[in-house]
């Protein structure tokens, strides 16, 4: 089915050896001028992904949706929203992606549906409707109180009163996103049918939205209190997520995926629990998720030590055979180029961050635009679209800023659309766009391209063990990636000054040569047991 890039070895497994690229479809490319990105737009831009060299595309939801949460509220799991195109467009996307050796990952939002999903419309019609038990309905506690103290992540209680049937339903997010009842076998069957539907259509993998919320405590006990700023953070989420029932369910899902060749599931472990919890979802025998996100990289300050520790924790948390993955940006967090902004040094930092992400042991997830160090957009209050921003402004400005249109070139609307887009384009798009960076061999784009190409051809980067060479890093990270057939050395200077990074382990003082470096130097400078690095230098070295 898939063409290989030729450089790939026989045991190349796309989700383990490759690089995955997340597209937020509303914001990638608009083909029909309605200001909203769509599937034909993505198809027209597949060349960009091939040129970048990624292996797979994860599409944020494209299902029919009233868009209260921009597609994370699904009203039909087996269709495409007209704003994005048709099922025929989707089939064309899969086929054209596969022709280029690109895999397609769908976002499965199965913790909750839209309140407009026919299942919920029936469920709320009457207490004796056959679908009543497809969602989570409860009586109030005595004295007109809520069923328990559970909170919605998007603010307020997780319970919404339904006047007609005189009960509350549970919503972990917006009230327009009622939680499905996974304890009902009919619900599980219906949702597994959804998985089968997309597998049969040729989809290669799934990203499971907030999967660790599927099951709630069977007794609906109150969460214990905890100090915190807002409602959701003021309790320990002991009873509304991470229930033991999740593990057998994931094993069943895995067994279903394993009936098809090379399918993959990556889970969004929600949200701020210890990293061991995310690791647990790989399964005791690595028979649950293929990959589980841990979001520690999205929370680290710009410090070598912070990243060093986050990597060490993740490496330590995973059982042997569990494969790590890393992510710096996505559609829910501030873009990392802006998180790590440092005036004129911002692009240099973005290049160091890219080198880190693409040389670690584990599958890198890129977010559209990061390959040109796209910045967080600034959306004025009147233009806010995200429900989180509408509710929490100015305390939290919402997630629109990381969802602004992809800047393709310097034409009006950044080449994203012939008309004004649903979110304004970033003000710097005339300089920071894909076309401009393709022209410039020193751009962030070409740095990503070179890193990805090196990773693809390097057994050490793809599979090698990770061995840090500095135990208590201050300004720089240095680590080896060691595979039987190859050893590479990665050195990253997080500082704007030249540094001498003192290694805790001796390196052979000769024969290292740069395979890639942001600094213009052919040889590694080793002074005794120290590496001399230029400001914000990121380099990958091999032994001759
Ligand atoms: C996940 C998604 C987020 C969405 C939420 C509710 O966290 O990444 O965008 O709002 O789930 O579905
Ligand atoms: Ca469109």
CA 316 and chain centroid, separation: 21
Q: Catalytic: 209?
A: yes
Nearest CA to ligand 1 atom 9: 332
CA of 26 to the centre of ligand 2 (A): 8
Which of 27, 70, 72 for a ligand 1 pocket mutation test, highest count of atoms within 8 Å of Cβ? Answer: 72
Which residues partner with 57 through β-bridges? 21, 104
Closest to 369 measured CA to CA, from 415, 434, 413: 434
CA of 179 to the centre of ligand 1 (A): 13
Q: How many helices (H) and strands (E) does the chain have?
A: 15, 19
Six token digits for residue 129: 């409707």
Which residues contact ligand 1 via a Cβ below 6 A? 69, 72, 109, 173, 209-210, 268, 270, 331-332
Asked if residues 32 and 38 have their Cβ atoms less than 8 Å apart, the reply is yes
Six token digits for residue 201: 């259509």
Predicted local confidence at residue 127, as pLDDT: 98
d(CA 144, CA 128): 23
Which atom of ligand 1 is found nearest the CA of 388? Answer: 10
d(CA 120, CA 165): 13
Segments of the chain scoring below 70 in pLDDT: 1-10, 272, 509-510, 522-523
Nearest CA to ligand 1 atom 2: 209
Asked if residues 105 and 205 have their Cβ atoms less than 8 Å apart, the reply is yes
Which DSSP category does 18 fall into? S
Asked if residues 451 and 516 have their Cβ atoms less than 8 Å apart, the reply is yes
Q: Helices 346-359 and 444-457 meet at what angle, rounded to 10?
A: 10
Six token digits for residue 463: 């599979």
Predicted local confidence at residue 3, as pLDDT: 35
CA of 72 to the centre of ligand 1 (A): 6
Protein residues placing their CB within 5 Å of the ion ligand 2? 30, 32, 34, 36, 38
Predicted local confidence at residue 229, as pLDDT: 81
Q: Catalytic: 268?
A: yes
Closest to 23 measured CA to CA, from 117, 112, 103: 103
The mean of the pLDDT values for the chain is: 95
Closest to 153 measured CA to CA, from 299, 24, 268: 268
Predicted local confidence at residue 274, as pLDDT: 85
Predicted local confidence at residue 427, as pLDDT: 98
Q: Could you write out the DSSP letters of every residue in 233-291? A: GGB--SSSS--TTHHHHHHHHHHHHTTSTT-EEEE---SSS-HHHHHHTT-TTS-S-SE
Using CA of residue 122, residue 127, residue 129, residue 133, what is the dihedral sign? positive
Q: pTM score, two decimals?
A: 0.97
The SS3 assignment for 25 reads: helix
Nearest CA to ligand 1 atom 12: 72
Asked if residues 188 and 180 have their Cβ atoms less than 8 Å apart, the reply is no
Predicted local confidence at residue 467, as pLDDT: 96
């Amino acid at each position: 089915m898939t063409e290989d890039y030729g450089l790939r070895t026989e045991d190349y497994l796309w989700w383990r050896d490759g690089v995955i690229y997340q597209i937020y479809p509303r914001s990638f490319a608009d083909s029909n001028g309605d200001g909203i990105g769509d599937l034909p737009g993505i198809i027209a831009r597949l060349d960009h992904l091939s040129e970048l060299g990624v292996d797979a595309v994860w599409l944020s939801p494209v299902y029919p949706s009233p868009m209260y949460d921009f597609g994370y509220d699904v009203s039909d799991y087996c269709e495409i929203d007209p704003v994005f195109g048709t099922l025929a467009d989707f089939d064309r996307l899969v086929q054209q992606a596969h022709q280029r050796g690109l895999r397609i990952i769908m976002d499965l939002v199965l913790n909750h549906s839209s309140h407009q999903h026919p299942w919920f419309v029936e469920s709320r019609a009457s207490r004796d409707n056959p679908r009543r038990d497809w969602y989570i309905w409860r009586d109030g506690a005595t004295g007109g109180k809520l069923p328990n103290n559970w909170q919605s992540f998007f603010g307020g209680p997780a319970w919404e009163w339904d006047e007609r049937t005189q009960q509350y339903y549970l919503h972990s997010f917006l009230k327009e996103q009622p939680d499905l009842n996974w304890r009902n076998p009919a619900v599980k069957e219906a949702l597994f049918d959804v998985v089968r539907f997309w597998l049969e259509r040729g989809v290669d993998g799934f990203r499971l939205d907030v999967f660790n919320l599927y099951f709630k405590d069977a007794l609906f006990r109150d969460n214990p209190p905890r100090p915190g700023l807002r409602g959701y953070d003021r309790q320990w989420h002991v009873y509304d997520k991470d229930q033991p029932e999740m593990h057998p369910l994931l094993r069943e899902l895995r067994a279903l995926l394993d009936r098809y060749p090379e399918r993959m599931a990556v889970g969004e472990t929600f949200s701020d629990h210890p990293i061991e919890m995310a690791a647990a979802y790989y399964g005791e025998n690595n028979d649950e998720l293929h990959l589980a996100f841990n979001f520690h990289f999205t929370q680290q300050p710009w410090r070598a030590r912070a990243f060093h520790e986050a990597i060490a924790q993740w490496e330590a948390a995973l059982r042997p055979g569990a494969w790590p993955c890393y992510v710096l940006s996505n559609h829910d967090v501030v873009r990392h180029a802006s998180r790590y902004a440092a005036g004129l040094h911002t692009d240099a930092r973005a290049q160091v961050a890219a080198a880190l992400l693409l040389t670690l042991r584990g599958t890198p997830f890129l977010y559209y635009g990061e390959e040109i160090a796209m910045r967080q957009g600034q959306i004025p209050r009147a233009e806010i679209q995200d429900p989180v921003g509408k509710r929490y402004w100015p305390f939290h400005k919402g997630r629109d800023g990381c969802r602004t249109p992809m800047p393709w070139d310097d034409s009006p609307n950044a080449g994203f659309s012939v008309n004004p887009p649903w979110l304004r384009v970033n003000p710097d798009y005339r300089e920071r766009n894909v076309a401009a960076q393709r022209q410039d061999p020193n751009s962030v784009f070409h740095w990503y391209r070179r890193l990805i190409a090196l990773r693809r051809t390097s057994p050490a980067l793809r599979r090698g063990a990770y061995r840090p060479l500095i135990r208590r890093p201050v300004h720089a990270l240095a680590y080896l990636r060691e595979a039987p057939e190859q050893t590479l050395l990665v050195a990253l200077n997080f500082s704007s000054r030249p540094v001498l990074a003192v290694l805790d382990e001796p390196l052979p003082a000769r024969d290292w040569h740069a395979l890639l470096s942001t600094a213009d130097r052919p040889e590694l400078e080793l002074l005794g047991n120290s590496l001399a690095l230029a400001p914000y230098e990121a380099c990958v070295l091999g032994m001759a």
